[in-house]
Structure 1
Amino acid sequence: MGKKKDNGAPALCSTRWTRSIDSGNAWKEYPRPAMVRASYINLNGMWDYCFTPFPGIPARFEGRIPVPFSPEAPLSGVGRRLSPDEFLWYRRSFALPKRQEGQRVLLHFGAVDQECAVFINGKPAGEHTGGYLPFTLDITDMAKEASNELLVRVRDYSDTSYYSRGKQKLDKGGMFYTAQSGIWQTVWLELVPDPYIASVLFTPDYDGSCCRVRVSAGGCRPGSPIRCTVRPETEEDRQYRDDPARPAAGVQPSGAVCVRTLSPDREAVLPLPAFHAWTPEDPFLYHAALEMGDDRVECYFAMRKCDIQTDGNGLRRIFLNNRPYMQAGVLDQGYWPDGLYTAPCDEAFIYDIRAMKELGFNMLRKHIKIEPQRWYYHCDRLGMLVWQDMVCGGSSYRHWFVTYLATLFNAMHVTIKDGRHSRSLLSRRDAEGRKQFFRETRDTVEALRIHPSIVCWVPFNEGWGQFDSLKAADFVRSLDPTRLIDHASGWFDQKGGDLCSLHYYFFTLKFRPEPVRALALTEFGGYSWQIPGHSYSEKLYGYGKYDSRQALTRGYRRLLASTILPAVKQGISATIYTQLSDVEEEVNGLYTYDREILKPNGETVRRLNQELKNAVNRH
């Protein structure tokens, strides 16, 4: 534990991992396990930084910051917030190994919040807007084999603009949390041949016993034929993926079940007549080695199907691999007291996922945040379904309407249309902000659809920045027709997507089965218990307050037994409890914010989750 002395920083700012990691040497794991290449230079570590009131390159820097921790995060050691009228500058040097003829240099950023401009040796290399998404710059013509200077200029408007911001708020409190900024995911370099494999998309065809694959080529020269070798994933593959010094590329394929020659940018079919299906209980992965000329990458995919079908009782339900499958989930905000948006280490990712699996949950709803690729990789390999929210944006939310009045509307089964006449109420008057949402929705789907754990996209949550959600659902469907869509989680249902999505915190849970869509209880619970020494502040935000493990467990058991289990039997196909851990003033987590204490009795949670799953899966 520790106290910060400026800008109202938290009393709780550590986790079980805080003291065991070297923040200046953090996050050295391979950042993109779903597409691994041997050429890899990690640029995380100590960078120079400074805050300036102007956009020009500063003459001096004021300190050192460990990338990828933001300056607001305790693990950065900086303890300062970037204001909307300031610029944050980063600087470091790097050297390249001797390049082979024709090799290109790619600079990757996992995420930079919100706007950034990148300079190599004083020359502009590119810009990016969107604080949650990865981007890549080709810096071949600017980079030298000798020392290179990398500069990054960041500006973060946080919640003062229409940009996507998630749960960040400059005036934090309640259900909104500390605003952070800057580089918060891994920065890394690759040396690739020309042409090179730029992206890979595997699309399982469960009913057709095959997988469709499309490989895109990058570089200045045209792509050449690609040799694709598929085999079941082995322990050796996992070892290479988790060893930053020895990424998977270079492992010799053995036990191949399919070998095909592919053409760049054209879809091909990989037949798998006796495939092994992926489920949370048996997360079986296939390994694919791709070779195009001098380039080689190693990937993975899984054979699974998630859709809506009618069960034996005539109810529309979520099916997994053509069987009714209850998705018992938990809301996952992805915040950490020591790293804010950046988990302290890879082990912390694994801990959260395994902790929820041990409690009997089989799904996480990643709430209004996009994680680094390694988080999704761990869900893929450990067996955890994921519902992925798009990141909310828009102007300042009118909480009297989208939170309080909307809750009453929901209880009365009253909704409003989210077209142009409601844009002011739903904080979406800016045309450029609406365009930016669709651009980021496209980029989110394209960045994450390679992960088999993701089974549902969620464009909007509780009316925050919601607009034209039917158009958004159709847009997502055009990008990815293989996954479910929860077009409007909670309030303001426009009768689109695959799910009738309900939130239940107050009043009475009322619903009716529908002839096309399935029913999902996408938020409920939020029961709180504040534990001294493991809470962020003395303030408390939650939906039902308890003062002991016994009382909280009784309340949880009563809620599940009296309301949720009967609802599941009547047609609810997925439930999402709020939430995985406390986050700042919001103390309604199953775990405390530091992940030290499980609040309810674990055996009670496991038993009730099994009852939920038995109510559906036995059909």
Structure 2
Amino acid sequence: MTPASSTSVRRPAGPRPEYPRPQFRRERWLSLNGTWRFQRDPSDSGLERGLLGADFAETIVVPFAPESELSGIGDPDFCEAVWYAREIAVPDEWPADGRVLLHCQAIDHDATVWLDGREVGRHRGGHTSFTLDLTDALAGRRTGTLTIRARDSRDAPQPRGKQSTHYANSGCHYTRTTGIWQPVWLEWVPASHLARPRITPDVARGEFELDVPVRHGRRGMTVRALLLDEPAAPAAASPIDADEAPADASMTPRLRLRVPADRVRLWEPGAPHLYGVRFELRGPDGALVDALDSYAGLRSIAIDGQRVLINGRPVFQRLVLDQGYWPDGLMTAPSEAALVADIELGLAAGFNGARVHQKIAEERYLYHADRLGYLVWGEFADWGASGAGPAGDNQRPTPTWIAQWVEAVERDYSHPSIVGWCPLNETHQFIHDRFTVLDDVTTALFLATKGIDRTRPVIDASGYSHRVAATDVWDSHDYSQDPEVFADRMAGLERGEPFANTGANSGEARPGAPDYSLPYADQPYFCSEFGGIWWVPPHLRGDGDDGWGYGDRVADEEEWYARAAGLTRVLDQNPLMFGYCWTQLTDVFGEQNGIYRFDRSAKLDPDRVRAIFDHPAAYEDS
């Protein structure tokens, strides 16, 4: 039972070298990002053809998908499967009496992992993380060949978000992401060790409730949590308060960690205080067995009638839609700085948060949102689950939608920046042969989320079909470009008849089709997609296609400011509207409706943009 030691910290080089999981930090880890051997498998016949153990013809830079430029491949064509291989070497300073874990933050879509030809595990889910134990396969050795096959069918139903099922980008469907697209790393843990804690803030009591799973615990062990003075340097800080609980193989100890009254500081936009937390597993003799460092924010979210309250007060949620794509990395941020920049660009434009749209944000993005006080709605890459999305009739929802979403909520539960969950987006219940199945999936996702998380609001589906009568939040998507028309559509909220997406107003009505949504029941309401103004500065326009946006392209920059201000005032001057989400932060390929260009350079006056969105809201006076 050897505890972690600060002397074992390695400073990895190569792409994306930072530790991928800041809220669950260990000291003994080794990045596997960098050059891997690579083989395309266009028809997914590689296992039959003997690719396992074969020499691969190419190399690729992980964690960038082969469709991206940063991978060194840059091939956007379809490929049913891809293979990766590289040698791994467990560092000599890692003790031999522990376990060696492989962490994969995201592999799209169905991954199988072998070590020296021995299968060590599988995972399905292109946006969710998984961990495999390599110890038994290593069998006492410190080296081996790691092989990963990723299968990503064009036609199979799967949560794919905005990935196009056509060869080229089309509309708001973008270049695909296949295979490894987030960091991969090794980590050493003791034989008995801590798993990811769940941190639940309790503002009323000035406490944190902590659920701390123990793997392979032994009788007499205890789990201890220490609150640290200074989150920026937890290793040098002294404990403020502590609690402990017994741990064994069948338990997840629950602890309550009190913040002394004179140290209570809340986490909120503009003042995102974070407490450093250290978790320890100690043996029967009190010796340290395992330790990990984390952090927590003390904040509450509550629903009060039609209001969503943060720390007991109405905070107007000025959100921006962030697609999370980059020209050279696609869904993978090219660097740590790029993740930070997107949050800072949102803040500079006057927003206090984002819908990270149709993808599950990587953990370092959420860490920076926690650190910078940026509100986030956690969202799933479900688009098309109703059969009306990019894969058409093939995109029927299956149990994997539920399994993958549960993985995401469990992983990201402890981030204070997440203020709501959105498992589905723009589902359409007008197709009769899917009506019952999609209703069941919608209900299952909602209930599963509520079962995991009792502290945050959950919206059953963003826009279109609200099929769960008890959904915490109602919303709509409306890209009307005339502020007067937009105001008329939003005026019904005061009468208890808010604007709802229907087949009639979306142009998708079918004879005899059911209504999209159940009746509104006075839930908190916001317009979670609006704006999307089409604007390409004249000096950036080409001779041919200048992309698209919603409505007619504005004639000049002045018209953009006038239209944006007119649309936004409709929402932020409505005292019953708890927030909005503007489309969108950046242009994405041919979608030319961002505040910034796709490369994150400016295309509008930042001061004038901020004046539009960082505007006093009537809701905050309610």
What is the TM-score normalised by the length of structure 1?
A: 0.83
1:121 is displaced (CA, Å) by: 1.2
Match of 1:467 in 2: 439
Q: 1:122 to 1:426 in 2, by over 3 A?
A: closer
Task: Provide the secondary structure at the position in 2 that maps to 1:154.
Answer: strand
Distance 1:383 1:122 in 2: 46
Task: Provide the secondary structure at the position in 1 that maps to 2:402.
Answer: helix
Match of 1:262 in 2: 245
1:572 is displaced (CA, Å) by: 0.7
Correspondence 1:503 to 2:494: no
Q: 1:271 to 1:178 in 2, by over 3 A?
A: same
Distance 1:174 1:186 in 2: 29
Distance 1:525 1:323 in 2: 27
Distance 2:383 2:132 in 1: 26
1:546 is displaced (CA, Å) by: 2.1
Match of 1:559 in 2: 567
Compare 489-498 and 105-114 and name the one that shifted more. Answer: 489-498
Q: Is the 8 A contact 2:321 2:583 kept in 1?
A: yes
Distance 1:190 1:398 in 2: 42
Task: Provide the secondary structure at the position in 1 that maps to 2:46.
Answer: coil
Q: Which has the higher contact order (CA 8 A, sep 6+)?
A: 1
Task: Provide the secondary structure at the position in 2 that maps to 1:440.
Answer: helix
Task: Provide the secondary structure at the position in 2 that maps to 1:168.
Answer: coil
1:31 is displaced (CA, Å) by: 0.6
1:62 is displaced (CA, Å) by: 1.4
Distance 2:614 2:74 in 1: 44
Deviations 1:377-429 (A, max 9, x none): 00000110100112215568336xx9xxxxxxxxxxxxxxxxxxxxxx99688
1:360 is displaced (CA, Å) by: 1.8
Match of 2:535 in 1: 529
Match of 1:88 in 2: 82
Match of 1:387 in 2: 377
Task: Provide the secondary structure at the position in 1 that maps to 2:615.
Answer: helix
Match of 2:307 in 1: 317
Q: Is the 8 A contact 1:329 1:362 kept in 2?
A: yes
CA RMSD of aligned residues (A): 2.5
Correspondence 1:147 to 2:121: no
1:184-583 equivalences in 2 (<5 Å) = 184-219=181-216, 224-237=221-234, 251-254=235-238, 256-264=239-247, 265-274=252-261, 275-293=264-282, 294-310=289-305, 316-392=306-382, 397-398=387-388, 430=396, 433-463=397-427, 466-468=438-440, 469-494=442-467, 495-506=469-480, 508=486, 509-510=489-490, 511-513=492-494, 516-531=522-537, 538-544=545-551, 545-561=553-569, 563-566=570-573, 568-569=574-575, 571-583=576-588
Distance 2:73 2:231 in 1: 42
Deviations 1:141-183 (A, max 9, x none): 112544311100111014x221110000131301111111010
1:219 is displaced (CA, Å) by: 3.9
Deviations 1:426-456 (A, max 9, x none): 96885xx421111112111001111110010
Distance 1:426 1:387 in 2: 26
Task: Provide the secondary structure at the position in 2 that maps to 1:65.
Answer: strand
Match of 1:591 in 2: 596
Distance 2:207 2:325 in 1: 38
What is the TM-score normalised by the length of structure 2?
A: 0.83
Q: Is the 8 A contact 1:73 1:338 kept in 2?
A: yes
1:474 is displaced (CA, Å) by: 2.1
Distance 2:531 2:120 in 1: 47
Match of 2:610 in 1: 606
Task: Provide the secondary structure at the position in 2 that maps to 1:490.
Answer: strand
Deviations 1:579-608 (A, max 9, x none): 111111111111110001243x32233223
Question: How many aligned residue pairs are there?
Answer: 545
Distance 2:232 2:217 in 1: 37
Distance 1:197 1:252 in 2: 22
Deviations 1:280-316 (A, max 9, x none): 1100001111111321100111110112114xxxxx2
Distance 2:257 2:479 in 1: 46
Among the aligned pairs, what percent are the same residue?
32
Task: Provide the secondary structure at the position in 2 that maps to 1:347.
Answer: helix
Q: Is the 8 A contact 2:81 2:153 kept in 1?
A: no
Distance 1:234 1:452 in 2: 15
Q: 1:223 to 1:526 in 2, by over 3 A?
A: farther
